[in-house]
Amino acid sequence: MATTYLEAIRAAQAKALQDDERVFIYGQDVGAFGGAFKATKGLAAAHPGRVMDSPISEDASIGLAIGASIEGLRPIVEMQFADFSSVAFSQIVNQAATQFYRTGVPCPMVVRLPSGGTPGGGPFHSQCMEAIYAHYPGLVVMTPATVEDAYHLLLAAVELEDPVIYCEHKFLYNHLKAERLPEKSDLPPNKARVARRGRDATVVTYSAMLHEALTAAGDLSREGWEIEVVDLRVVKPIDTETILESVSRTGRMLAVGESAPWGGVTAEVVARVAADGFRFLDAPPRRLACKDTPVPYHPNLWAAHRPNAAEIARVLREVLRF
Protein backbone atom coordinates (compact mmCIF):
# COMPACT_ATOMS: atom_id res chain seq x y z
CA MET A 1 0.00 0.00 0.00
CA ALA A 2 1.32 3.39 -0.95
CA THR A 3 2.37 5.88 1.71
CA THR A 4 1.65 9.57 1.36
CA TYR A 5 3.97 12.41 2.35
CA LEU A 6 1.64 13.17 5.26
CA GLU A 7 1.58 9.54 6.35
CA ALA A 8 5.34 9.50 6.28
CA ILE A 9 5.38 12.44 8.69
CA ARG A 10 3.00 10.62 10.96
CA ALA A 11 4.99 7.41 10.70
CA ALA A 12 8.22 9.19 11.57
CA GLN A 13 6.64 10.70 14.66
CA ALA A 14 5.19 7.33 15.64
CA LYS A 15 8.62 5.78 15.33
CA ALA A 16 10.30 8.58 17.26
CA LEU A 17 7.79 8.22 20.09
CA GLN A 18 8.30 4.46 20.04
CA ASP A 19 12.08 4.42 19.96
CA ASP A 20 12.96 7.34 22.17
CA GLU A 21 11.16 7.95 25.42
CA ARG A 22 12.43 11.52 25.51
CA VAL A 23 10.24 12.44 22.55
CA PHE A 24 6.89 14.16 23.03
CA ILE A 25 4.59 16.12 20.74
CA TYR A 26 3.01 19.44 21.61
CA GLY A 27 0.74 21.71 19.61
CA GLN A 28 -2.79 22.85 18.95
CA ASP A 29 -5.21 19.98 18.46
CA VAL A 30 -2.45 17.39 18.07
CA GLY A 31 -3.84 15.15 20.80
CA ALA A 32 -7.02 13.09 20.48
CA PHE A 33 -7.99 15.04 17.39
CA GLY A 34 -4.75 14.15 15.62
CA GLY A 35 -3.91 17.62 14.35
CA ALA A 36 -5.46 19.94 11.78
CA PHE A 37 -3.93 17.84 9.00
CA LYS A 38 -4.02 14.52 10.89
CA ALA A 39 -0.25 14.34 11.08
CA THR A 40 -0.49 13.03 14.64
CA LYS A 41 -3.56 10.86 14.20
CA GLY A 42 -3.65 7.99 16.65
CA LEU A 43 -0.44 9.01 18.39
CA ALA A 44 -2.04 10.34 21.55
CA ALA A 45 -3.92 7.11 22.10
CA ALA A 46 -0.81 5.04 21.46
CA HIS A 47 1.37 7.16 23.75
CA PRO A 48 -0.74 8.50 26.60
CA GLY A 49 0.54 11.74 28.08
CA ARG A 50 3.12 12.26 25.37
CA VAL A 51 1.00 13.97 22.71
CA MET A 52 -0.50 17.11 24.19
CA ASP A 53 -2.91 19.79 23.06
CA SER A 54 -1.52 23.26 23.65
CA PRO A 55 -3.42 26.47 24.17
CA ILE A 56 -3.32 28.88 21.21
CA SER A 57 -0.01 30.23 22.42
CA GLU A 58 2.74 29.69 19.92
CA ASP A 59 5.24 31.80 21.84
CA ALA A 60 4.68 29.80 25.01
CA SER A 61 4.62 26.51 23.12
CA ILE A 62 8.11 27.11 21.80
CA GLY A 63 9.26 28.45 25.17
CA LEU A 64 7.90 25.35 26.83
CA ALA A 65 9.63 23.11 24.33
CA ILE A 66 12.91 24.90 24.93
CA GLY A 67 12.57 24.33 28.65
CA ALA A 68 11.75 20.66 28.15
CA SER A 69 14.64 20.34 25.72
CA ILE A 70 17.31 21.77 28.00
CA GLU A 71 15.90 19.46 30.66
CA GLY A 72 16.67 16.50 28.44
CA LEU A 73 13.49 15.79 26.50
CA ARG A 74 13.01 15.92 22.72
CA PRO A 75 9.96 17.99 21.89
CA ILE A 76 8.31 18.05 18.51
CA VAL A 77 6.12 21.15 18.25
CA GLU A 78 3.51 21.29 15.54
CA MET A 79 2.50 24.73 14.36
CA GLN A 80 -1.00 24.55 12.94
CA PHE A 81 0.29 26.46 9.92
CA ALA A 82 3.82 27.74 9.30
CA ASP A 83 2.32 31.22 9.15
CA PHE A 84 1.45 31.10 12.85
CA SER A 85 5.04 30.48 13.80
CA SER A 86 5.42 34.21 13.21
CA VAL A 87 4.10 34.80 16.71
CA ALA A 88 6.69 32.38 18.09
CA PHE A 89 9.40 33.97 16.00
CA SER A 90 11.19 35.56 18.94
CA GLN A 91 11.32 32.37 20.97
CA ILE A 92 12.60 30.44 17.97
CA VAL A 93 15.30 32.81 16.79
CA ASN A 94 16.22 34.44 20.06
CA GLN A 95 15.99 31.62 22.51
CA ALA A 96 16.06 28.22 20.79
CA ALA A 97 18.62 29.30 18.21
CA THR A 98 20.99 30.98 20.67
CA GLN A 99 20.75 28.52 23.54
CA PHE A 100 23.69 26.32 22.65
CA TYR A 101 25.98 29.13 21.64
CA ARG A 102 25.25 31.17 24.74
CA THR A 103 25.13 28.50 27.40
CA GLY A 104 26.81 25.44 25.97
CA VAL A 105 23.65 23.47 26.71
CA PRO A 106 22.17 21.99 23.55
CA CYS A 107 18.56 22.63 22.64
CA PRO A 108 17.40 19.74 20.48
CA MET A 109 13.84 20.20 19.33
CA VAL A 110 11.84 20.02 16.15
CA VAL A 111 9.35 22.65 15.04
CA ARG A 112 7.09 21.34 12.33
CA LEU A 113 5.82 23.99 9.96
CA PRO A 114 3.00 23.01 7.58
CA SER A 115 4.17 25.28 4.81
CA GLY A 116 3.47 26.50 1.37
CA GLY A 117 0.62 27.37 -0.88
CA THR A 118 -2.50 25.47 -1.80
CA PRO A 119 -5.40 26.81 -3.88
CA GLY A 120 -7.59 28.92 -1.60
CA GLY A 121 -5.04 29.02 1.19
CA GLY A 122 -4.59 32.76 1.05
CA PRO A 123 -2.04 35.09 2.63
CA PHE A 124 -2.03 33.52 6.10
CA HIS A 125 -2.18 29.82 5.40
CA SER A 126 0.34 29.52 2.58
CA GLN A 127 3.63 30.98 3.70
CA CYS A 128 7.06 29.51 3.19
CA MET A 129 9.25 30.68 6.03
CA GLU A 130 12.42 28.68 5.47
CA ALA A 131 14.46 31.74 4.53
CA ILE A 132 13.42 33.61 7.65
CA TYR A 133 14.64 30.88 9.95
CA ALA A 134 17.68 30.02 7.89
CA HIS A 135 18.94 33.57 8.22
CA TYR A 136 19.32 33.15 11.98
CA PRO A 137 22.42 31.43 13.31
CA GLY A 138 21.77 28.32 15.36
CA LEU A 139 18.97 26.65 13.45
CA VAL A 140 18.87 23.77 11.00
CA VAL A 141 16.15 24.15 8.36
CA MET A 142 14.84 21.10 6.54
CA THR A 143 12.55 21.18 3.50
CA PRO A 144 11.70 17.64 2.39
CA ALA A 145 10.36 17.22 -1.12
CA THR A 146 9.74 13.50 -1.19
CA VAL A 147 7.87 10.98 0.90
CA GLU A 148 11.11 9.24 1.78
CA ASP A 149 12.75 12.47 2.89
CA ALA A 150 9.69 13.55 4.82
CA TYR A 151 10.20 10.41 6.83
CA HIS A 152 13.96 10.18 7.17
CA LEU A 153 14.68 13.86 7.61
CA LEU A 154 12.12 14.07 10.38
CA LEU A 155 13.76 11.17 12.15
CA ALA A 156 17.14 12.82 11.66
CA ALA A 157 15.73 16.07 12.99
CA VAL A 158 14.60 14.38 16.18
CA GLU A 159 18.04 12.87 16.65
CA LEU A 160 20.01 16.01 15.99
CA GLU A 161 21.33 17.89 19.03
CA ASP A 162 20.22 21.20 17.53
CA PRO A 163 16.88 22.92 16.99
CA VAL A 164 15.42 22.01 13.63
CA ILE A 165 12.81 23.90 11.66
CA TYR A 166 11.10 21.24 9.63
CA CYS A 167 9.16 22.75 6.73
CA GLU A 168 6.67 20.21 5.41
CA HIS A 169 4.75 21.23 2.33
CA LYS A 170 0.96 21.05 2.54
CA PHE A 171 0.56 20.74 -1.20
CA LEU A 172 2.44 17.44 -1.05
CA TYR A 173 0.56 16.01 1.94
CA ASN A 174 -1.82 13.83 0.02
CA HIS A 175 -0.69 14.33 -3.58
CA LEU A 176 2.63 12.68 -3.13
CA LYS A 177 2.92 8.94 -2.66
CA ALA A 178 5.69 6.40 -2.41
CA GLU A 179 5.42 2.66 -2.79
CA ARG A 180 7.04 2.00 0.55
CA LEU A 181 9.19 3.71 3.13
CA PRO A 182 12.76 2.42 2.93
CA GLU A 183 14.30 1.43 6.26
CA LYS A 184 17.24 3.70 5.66
CA SER A 185 17.74 6.86 3.72
CA ASP A 186 20.01 6.63 0.73
CA LEU A 187 21.61 9.92 1.82
CA PRO A 188 22.72 11.47 5.09
CA PRO A 189 20.75 14.58 6.04
CA ASN A 190 23.62 16.83 5.09
CA LYS A 191 23.61 15.95 1.41
CA ALA A 192 21.55 17.37 -1.39
CA ARG A 193 20.14 14.88 -3.85
CA VAL A 194 20.57 14.84 -7.57
CA ALA A 195 16.95 14.07 -8.30
CA ARG A 196 17.45 13.87 -12.03
CA ARG A 197 20.67 13.55 -13.95
CA GLY A 198 21.32 16.00 -16.73
CA ARG A 199 23.97 17.65 -18.80
CA ASP A 200 22.81 20.98 -20.11
CA ALA A 201 21.73 22.96 -17.06
CA THR A 202 21.14 22.52 -13.33
CA VAL A 203 17.96 23.46 -11.49
CA VAL A 204 18.53 23.83 -7.76
CA THR A 205 15.31 23.63 -5.80
CA TYR A 206 13.54 22.09 -2.81
CA SER A 207 10.15 21.19 -1.38
CA ALA A 208 7.08 21.37 -3.65
CA MET A 209 9.02 23.15 -6.40
CA LEU A 210 11.09 20.02 -6.95
CA HIS A 211 8.12 18.46 -8.66
CA GLU A 212 7.53 21.48 -10.87
CA ALA A 213 11.20 21.39 -11.80
CA LEU A 214 11.07 17.70 -12.60
CA THR A 215 8.05 18.26 -14.81
CA ALA A 216 9.86 21.08 -16.57
CA ALA A 217 12.91 18.88 -17.03
CA GLY A 218 10.70 16.18 -18.51
CA ASP A 219 9.17 18.66 -20.92
CA LEU A 220 12.54 19.99 -21.98
CA SER A 221 13.91 16.52 -22.53
CA ARG A 222 11.34 16.20 -25.27
CA GLU A 223 13.02 19.24 -26.82
CA GLY A 224 16.36 17.48 -26.55
CA TRP A 225 17.70 19.17 -23.42
CA GLU A 226 18.96 17.21 -20.45
CA ILE A 227 18.27 19.14 -17.26
CA GLU A 228 19.85 18.11 -13.98
CA VAL A 229 17.70 18.73 -10.92
CA VAL A 230 19.22 19.12 -7.46
CA ASP A 231 16.91 18.80 -4.46
CA LEU A 232 18.49 20.65 -1.53
CA ARG A 233 16.52 18.70 1.12
CA VAL A 234 18.05 20.87 3.85
CA VAL A 235 18.36 24.60 3.15
CA LYS A 236 20.44 25.43 6.19
CA PRO A 237 23.16 24.39 6.12
CA ILE A 238 23.26 24.14 2.33
CA ASP A 239 25.23 21.41 0.64
CA THR A 240 27.15 23.71 -1.69
CA GLU A 241 29.41 20.86 -2.74
CA THR A 242 26.70 18.93 -4.54
CA ILE A 243 25.42 22.06 -6.24
CA LEU A 244 28.85 23.04 -7.46
CA GLU A 245 29.62 19.56 -8.63
CA SER A 246 26.49 19.66 -10.74
CA VAL A 247 27.08 23.14 -12.12
CA SER A 248 30.67 22.17 -12.93
CA ARG A 249 29.22 19.62 -15.32
CA THR A 250 26.32 21.59 -16.76
CA GLY A 251 27.73 25.13 -16.77
CA ARG A 252 24.29 26.67 -16.29
CA MET A 253 21.94 27.01 -13.37
CA LEU A 254 18.55 28.17 -12.21
CA ALA A 255 17.46 28.35 -8.58
CA VAL A 256 13.75 27.89 -7.96
CA GLY A 257 11.87 28.54 -4.74
CA GLU A 258 8.27 29.16 -3.81
CA SER A 259 8.89 31.93 -1.30
CA ALA A 260 9.23 35.67 -1.87
CA PRO A 261 11.69 37.00 -4.43
CA TRP A 262 13.74 39.27 -2.17
CA GLY A 263 16.35 37.08 -0.52
CA GLY A 264 15.36 33.54 0.17
CA VAL A 265 16.96 30.26 -0.74
CA THR A 266 17.27 31.24 -4.37
CA ALA A 267 19.42 34.27 -3.55
CA GLU A 268 21.60 32.23 -1.24
CA VAL A 269 22.12 29.50 -3.83
CA VAL A 270 22.86 31.90 -6.67
CA ALA A 271 25.23 33.90 -4.47
CA ARG A 272 27.14 30.74 -3.58
CA VAL A 273 27.35 29.48 -7.11
CA ALA A 274 28.41 32.88 -8.37
CA ALA A 275 31.12 33.20 -5.73
CA ASP A 276 32.43 29.64 -5.65
CA GLY A 277 31.47 28.27 -9.04
CA PHE A 278 32.03 31.31 -11.21
CA ARG A 279 34.52 29.49 -13.39
CA PHE A 280 32.00 26.78 -14.19
CA LEU A 281 29.34 29.15 -15.44
CA ASP A 282 28.72 29.51 -19.16
CA ALA A 283 25.63 31.66 -18.60
CA PRO A 284 24.31 33.94 -15.87
CA PRO A 285 22.85 32.02 -12.94
CA ARG A 286 19.14 32.75 -12.68
CA ARG A 287 16.40 32.70 -10.08
CA LEU A 288 12.70 32.06 -10.01
CA ALA A 289 10.55 32.84 -6.99
CA CYS A 290 6.93 33.73 -6.41
CA LYS A 291 5.67 37.22 -7.15
CA ASP A 292 6.44 39.94 -4.62
CA THR A 293 2.97 40.08 -3.05
CA PRO A 294 1.27 38.17 -0.27
CA VAL A 295 0.04 34.78 -1.45
CA PRO A 296 -3.34 35.49 -3.01
CA TYR A 297 -6.39 33.55 -2.00
CA HIS A 298 -8.14 32.90 -5.27
CA PRO A 299 -6.87 29.78 -7.09
CA ASN A 300 -6.49 31.73 -10.36
CA LEU A 301 -4.25 34.27 -8.72
CA TRP A 302 -2.44 31.70 -6.65
CA ALA A 303 -1.53 29.66 -9.71
CA ALA A 304 -0.03 32.74 -11.33
CA HIS A 305 1.73 33.81 -8.15
CA ARG A 306 3.88 30.75 -7.64
CA PRO A 307 6.44 29.42 -10.07
CA ASN A 308 5.33 26.43 -12.04
CA ALA A 309 6.68 23.91 -14.52
CA ALA A 310 5.84 25.99 -17.58
CA GLU A 311 7.60 29.01 -16.23
CA ILE A 312 10.60 27.03 -15.10
CA ALA A 313 10.83 25.59 -18.59
CA ARG A 314 10.54 29.05 -20.10
CA VAL A 315 13.39 30.47 -18.02
CA LEU A 316 15.46 27.35 -18.58
CA ARG A 317 15.15 27.82 -22.32
CA GLU A 318 16.57 31.31 -21.89
CA VAL A 319 19.39 29.96 -19.78
CA LEU A 320 20.10 27.22 -22.33
CA ARG A 321 20.12 29.62 -25.25
CA PHE A 322 22.32 32.22 -23.61
Partner 1 sequence: MVELAPSPVVQSAEIPLKPESKRENFVRAYRWMLLARTLDEKLAALYKAGGKISGGVFLGTGQEALSTALGVALRKGDVFAPLIRDLAGRLAFGEPVLDATRTYLGSRLGPMRGRDGNIHRGRIAEGQMAMISHLGAMISTTAGVLLARRMRGQTGTVGAISIGDGATSTGSTHEGLNTAAVEHLPLVAVIANNQYAYSTPTSRQFACEDLLDRAKGYGYEGHSVDGTDLEACLEVLQRAVDRAREGHGPQMVVARLLRLTGHGLHDDASYVDPKLKASPVGADCLRLAEKTLLERRWAEAKDLASWKAECVKEVDEAAAQAMRDPAPDPKLEDWSALNEPEMLDLGLATRG
Residues in contact with a copy of itself by the rule CB under 8 A: 59, 83, 86-87, 89-90, 93-94, 97-98, 101-102, 123-124, 131-132, 134-138, 236, 238, 259-260, 262-268, 270-271, 273-276, 278-279, 281, 283-287, 291-294
Output 136 or 177, the one with its CB closest to a copy of itself. Answer: 136
The least CB distance from residue 86 to partner 1, in Å, is 7
Q: Counting contacts by CB under 6 A, is residue 28 touching ligand TPP?
A: yes
- 219 CB-contact burial (10 Å; exposed 0-12 / middle 13-18 / buried 19+): middle
Amino acid at 93: V
- For residue 226, which phi and psi values (nearest 5 degrees)? -110, 105
Residue 216 C-beta: closest distance to partner 1, Å: 12
Restricting to residues 148-207, name those near partner 1 by CB under 8 A: 160-162, 188-191
Asked if residue 84 binds ligand TPP (CB under 6 A), the reply is yes
With a CB cutoff of 8 Å and minimum separation 6, the contacts of 21 are none
Q: What is the per-residue binding string for partner 1 in 263-282, x denoting contact by CB under 8 A?
A: ---xx---xx--xx------
| CA dist., res. 267 & res. 272, Å (int) | 8
What single letter denotes the amino acid at residue 252? R
The answer to the question of residue 303 lying near ligand TPP (CB under 6 A) is: no
> Is residue 298 annotated as a catalytic residue, yes or no?
no
Select 182 or 237, whichever has its Cβ closest to a copy of itself.
Answer: 237
Partner in contact with 89, chosen from ligand TPP, a copy of itself, partner 1, none, beta carbon below 5 to 8 Å by kind: a copy of itself
79 C-beta neighbours (distance < 10 Å), count = 25
105-to-25, 62, 76, 108, 165 alpha-carbon distances in Å: 21, 17, 18, 10, 19
**CB of 251: closest distance to partner 1 in angstroms?**
20
Q: Which of 125, 152, 169, 211 is catalytic?
A: 125
- 265 to 254, 294, 307: CA distances (angstroms): 12, 18, 14
Alpha-carbon span 26 to 87, nearest angstrom: 16
Between residue 64 and residue 103, which ones bind partner 1 under the rule CB under 8 A? 64-73, 75, 81, 83-84, 86-87, 90-91, 94-95, 97-98, 100-103
Rounded (to 5) percent helix, strand, coil in the chain? 40, 20, 40
Catalytic residues: 125
Q: Which residues bind ligand TPP (CB under 6 A)?
A: 28, 56, 58, 80, 84, 87
